[in-house]
Amino acid sequence: MNNSNSKQWSSATPGYIIFLVDQSGSMAESFAEGKNRSEFTALVINRTINELINTNMDGEKVKDRVFISMIGYGGSSALAVDDIRSDYLSSFADTPLRMEQLKKKVSDGAGGLIEIDEQMPIFIEPTANGLTPMADALSFAKELIEGWLQKKPNNPAPIIINISDGLPYTGDSIDTAMNNAISVSKEIMNISSADGNPLIFNCHLGEGQTHSFNENESELSDDQAKFLFKVSSKVPESYKQDAVKRDFKALPESRGFVSNADPELFIQFINFGSSGGSDKIA
Amino acid sequence: MQISIKGYITSKESELFYDCADRYAYNKSQNKFAISDGVSKSFFPKIWADVLVNRWVDSKEFDEAQFILDCQKDWLNQVTEIVNRSNAKWFTKNAFNRKESGLATFVGLRFYKKKKEWFWKANALGDSFLFFVPKEIKDFSKECIVLSSKQEPIVFDNFPDYLSSLGSNHKGKKQLKENLMTAGTFYLMTDALAEWFLNEKDNAFNKIDVWQNQKDFERFVDEERYNKKLGNDDSAILTIKIEEDKKDQIKYVLEEVSDINELIKVQQKEIEDSEKAKEQELVVQKENLNSVTETEQLQQFEPEGNKLSEELETEKEKPQKGFIEKGKEFLFRKKEKEESDKQKVTDETIELSEKHQKEEEPSSQDEDTNTETVKSEDSDKNESQEIESKSKVKTESSTKAPNKPSQNITDKF
């Protein structure tokens, strides 16, 4: 059995998650729950980091078992690639951008529900502007991964979670932009580390026919899905149990992507991608 | 009966004793011993583990239901006190409001006298184990007594049975064993060590026998983790060696047991000393730098940015750091030093190879990577791209470069 991408996150060997966030103008399109795509994306990332904090704290202390980079593309200008924030988990916990007050219903332990106040930390704000320089964002992520592995060669292989609502576009032809993105993705997926190759998981937000975790490009009906197939890693064995637990079909050759994800699928996919492949935490 | 007790404990690699959620306790007057492993992903697990072992060994009359209720009350009081502090973190308050609970495994062992004979009785829940190895053991698999609530085949995972600090949502069924006391050794241990023990079999107790103190234990843990024989988890062990002396009473002849609270204090002191040494070093460096600057000023040279002095000022202005933050830095620096020693060799090799490459290859700096981008009215453009085009943002080549170089991020790794 292949043991790649199976190393546990720990304080001694933290994991590394890079969220690549499409912040192009089209992310302003409405999506779900009265939110547009960028707002919903920010909500999901904020919740995901909050969840990582909850699962890596012992009550009063957050353990640095993961380093997180949030890299935006588009956004601040047409072809920008921005480091929105990069830090160890405890730093996110110590200094969120701001806090929102929420009312939440939880079990009262006796079969009923009670409403409680909950503070929701905000780490990323929604942005929708500019084009979709995905290849540049992937190139930047590649630099980060190389820097990470140089300093931490024995840590778990890094994971990129790319969230976008369209094909790469930088003002030139789409084919060129796509080929550039495919080329950089392959370079990233060929980087070797003690824990195997870095992983790229892709989530596309949209409203057409949904595809996820396919094994062959020929099964896919549209260019969008075919592109995602090409820029996504094969789901490692160590992630398959977790994928199945989240109702994804994890077949031997499945690639880690969803296209035209609805809100529920989007959330499930991000939870899968940021899980480190299992619930195991050393 | 003569009894010798040894107990050692340590945290996961790169964590502090303060972070360790394993606990053990014993009470000689009650002849009771207990060990517990607070579940890493639960809420204040170390408080829960601590309450369980201490209350159990100190209890005289044992009513299990009441024991759990008393422990839960104790845990809740301690946690409430922390949550109500003015500096309580938002995630602590959130978890408390959500009524999250502490979870922990448990093994308890007690000796008791019935008529004229001594017996032992033990209970276990979760993946912490009790092993009893008779003095003259010949066949480990047949003679070693094993107690835990793990079912055969034993697989160690992160989903053990546990006792919960809230309500009655405990997981698993407690296992019991009882027997006549004979010469031999009881080993109470948490999961990582138990897994190692089961793998090593006869070798295990021979290796354990040589530990004379906490440092021996820590050295063993480091080695076995390095050799991938021991999982990177909090690790605690309590050994209770029984020897026949033909006497009617139990006599405790040796106690070599590390106290986690003492270990935390000593480590805290080390961290504070290291902080002080760092501050002193900065003062000396600043003084040296000032004297250099003064000389330079005399020579009418413009001094460059006094980064070190700024660093020192910042250090002074910073609010006093908590033990946790200091600890993190302490461990980080220790590790960084180890890594930098290793890195030095690699860097030198890279430097040499880069130098060699430079000499061989022509410069590629002339290549214009920021090629001019021209917007095309490509008919293939999808809806998204139309919106993007509408945004009419300038496609200046300068915007292609990330606004922060990757080094800003990699420096934080």
| CB-neighbour burial class of residue B391 (10 A; exposed 0-12, middle 13-18, buried 19+) | middle
Assess contact for B216 and B157: CB atoms under 8 A.
no
The model's confidence at residue B332, banded by pLDDT at 50, 70 and 90, is: low
Give the whole-number percent of chain A exceeding pLDDT 70.
Answer: 97
Is residue A59 within 8 angstroms of chain B, CB to CB?
yes
Tens digit of each residue's pLDDT (9 = 90 or more) over B77-113: 999 999 999 999 999 999 999 999 999 999 999 999 9
Q: What percent of chain B has pLDDT over 70?
A: 74
Residue A54 sits at the chain B interface (C-beta within 8 Å)? yes
Q: How far is CA A167 from CA A132, A178, A224, A225, A227, in A?
A: 7, 7, 7, 10, 8
Cα-flanking dihedrals φ and ψ of residue B163, to 5°? -100, 140
Please state the rounded mean pLDDT for residues B32-38.
98
Q: What is the pLDDT of residue B365?
A: 41
Which tokens belong to B273? Answer: 């000393």
- Give the H or E element holding residue B371: none
Sort out which chain A residues have CB atoms less than 8 A from B404's CB and list them.
82-83
Interface of A with B in 215-244 (CB under 8 A): none
Query: Tokens 């309450």 correspond to what residue?
Result: B51
For B406, which of A90, A140, A171 is closest by C-beta distance? A140
- Partners of residue A23 on adjacent β-strands: A74
Total Cβ atoms within 10 A of residue B184: 20
Q: Record the tokens describing residue A231, joined without a space.
A: 């820029």
Q: How confident is the model at residue B397 (pLDDT cuts 50, 70, 90)?
A: very low
Confidence of residue B404 (pLDDT cuts 50, 70, 90): low
The Cα B70–Cα A131 span in angstroms is 61
Secondary structure in 3-state letters for B71-118: HHHHHHHHHHHHHCCCCCCHHHHHHHHCCCCCEECEEEEEEEEECCEE
Q: Measuring CA to CA, how many Å separate A125 from each of A74, A119, A217, B341?
A: 14, 16, 35, 41
Percent of chain A having pLDDT more than 90?
A: 67
Task: Name the residue facing B391 among A25, A81, A150 (closest C-beta).
Answer: A25
> Is A118 an interface residue toward B (CB < 8 Å)?
yes
Tokens in use for B226? 């390095």
Tell me the pairing of strands A66-74 and A35-36: unpaired
How much is the pLDDT for A275? 80
Tell me whether residues A82 and B402 touch, CB distance under 8 A.
yes
Residue B82: list chain A partners with CB under 8 A: 59-60
**DSSP symbol at A185:** H
Other beta carbons within 10 Å of A86: 23
Residue B246's pLDDT is what? 83
Q: What pLDDT score was predicted for residue B364?
A: 41
Q: Which of A2-11, A111-120, B222-231, B312-321 has the lowest mean pLDDT?
A: B312-321
- Residue B384: closest CA among A28, A211, A64: A28
Q: What is the pLDDT of residue B379?
A: 38
A-proximal residues of B, 249-308, CB under 8 Å: none
CB contact set of B251 (below 8 Å; sequence gap of 6+): B1, B2, B3, B245
Contact map slice: B 109-168 vs A, CB within 8 A? 157-159, 166-167
- Identify which of A58, A96, A151 has the shortest CB distance to residue B44: A58
* Amino acid at residue number B217: F
Strands B235-243 and B184-189: antiparallel
For residue B387, which residues of chain A lie inside 8 Å, CB to CB? 25-26, 28-29
Between chain A and chain B, the number of residue pairs with CB atoms below 8 A apart is 204
Instruction: Decide if pLDDT at A1 tops 90.
Output: no
Q: How far is CA B295 from CA B287, B298, B309, in A?
A: 12, 5, 16
Average pLDDT score over chain A: 91
| Structure confidence by residue, pLDDT tens digits, A99-144 | 999 888 887 767 788 888 899 999 999 999 999 999 999 999 999 9
State both tokens at A131: 């084009």
Exposure string over A126-161, b if 16+ CB within 10 A, otherwise e = bbbbbbbbbbbbbbbbbebbbbbbeebeebbbbbbb
* Alpha carbon distance B45, A248 (integer Å): 33
Which has more confidence, B370 or B81?
Answer: B81
Q: Is B388 on the interface with A (CB under 8 A)?
A: yes
Residue ranges and CATH numbers for the domains of chain A are 15-273 (3.40.50.410)
pLDDT at B66 over 90: yes
- What's the whole-number mean pLDDT along residues B377-401? 43
Residues 168-207 of chain B whose Cβ lies under 8 A from any Cβ of chain A: none
Non-local (6+) Cβ contacts of A221 within 8 A are A209, A211
**What pLDDT, in 10s, does the model give residues A246-261?**
888 889 999 999 998 8
- Whether B393 and A281 lie within 8 Å, measured CB to CB: no
